[in-house]
Amino acid sequence: MASTQITSPEEVHDMRHLTRVGTGLATLAALLALITGTALAGGWAEVVMISTSEDPPVAGEADEIQFTLLQHGVTAVDFGEVELTAIHPETGDELTAPSTSLGGGRWSASLTFPVAGSWRIAIRHTDLETSEPTTLTVGPVDQLAWLPVPLTLGIFAAVAVAVSGGMLLFRNRPVAAGRAIRTG
């Protein structure tokens, strides 16, 4: 069996130095793995959008958007500050609104989308990473949405009065002389 002998003091010193450096690097790697693993294990939440209406939001109208935040997809998140950001990819419009906790992991934000189309909805939390943005389709402005309800009712009432008045005028119109009137 062949053996290598270290005889010079410099070789002994170099070997001790390499051992210390190797031990230090191994310790540092273990600490980094522990710190990184701990940080990544608890730092994310899944976003689940909640539909509060069967109809999509309409451009120009305030809309309440609700969602849940679940840490690791399981535990309700009711802490921290949360904001909702909506981006319209075609126009570049970006809207941001603070979200309010409703309890039980439910959150709510109110937005008024200026234009119809597909909007990318992202949720940001102060302490947690959140799941990928989702797409929300916003409908076009209703053609009569600009007409206020009282004005619409007033126009309807005016038309009803005009039709009723016209019917009364023609019903009570005097009969020309010489015409026979049928009765009963």
Confidence of residue 178 (pLDDT cuts 50, 70, 90): low
Nearest to 69 by CA among 57, 56, 55, 83: 83
Tens-place pLDDT, residues 78-133: 999 999 999 999 999 999 999 999 999 999 999 999 999 999 999 999 999 999 99
Proportion of the chain above pLDDT 90, given as a percent: 50
User: Of 13-22, 44-53, 123-132, 148-157, which range is least confident?
Assistant: 148-157
All domains in the chain, ordered by first residue: 44-138 (2.60.40.10)
C-alpha to C-alpha distance for 129 and 46, rounded to whole angstroms: 9
Q: Which of 32-36, 126-130, 131-135, 158-162 has the lowest mean pLDDT?
A: 32-36
Report field, pTM of the whole predicted structure over 0.85: no
pLDDT at residue 37 above 60?
Answer: no
What pLDDT score was predicted for residue 173?
A: 60
Higher pLDDT, 48 or 3: 48
38 — pLDDT class (breaks 50, 70, 90)? very low
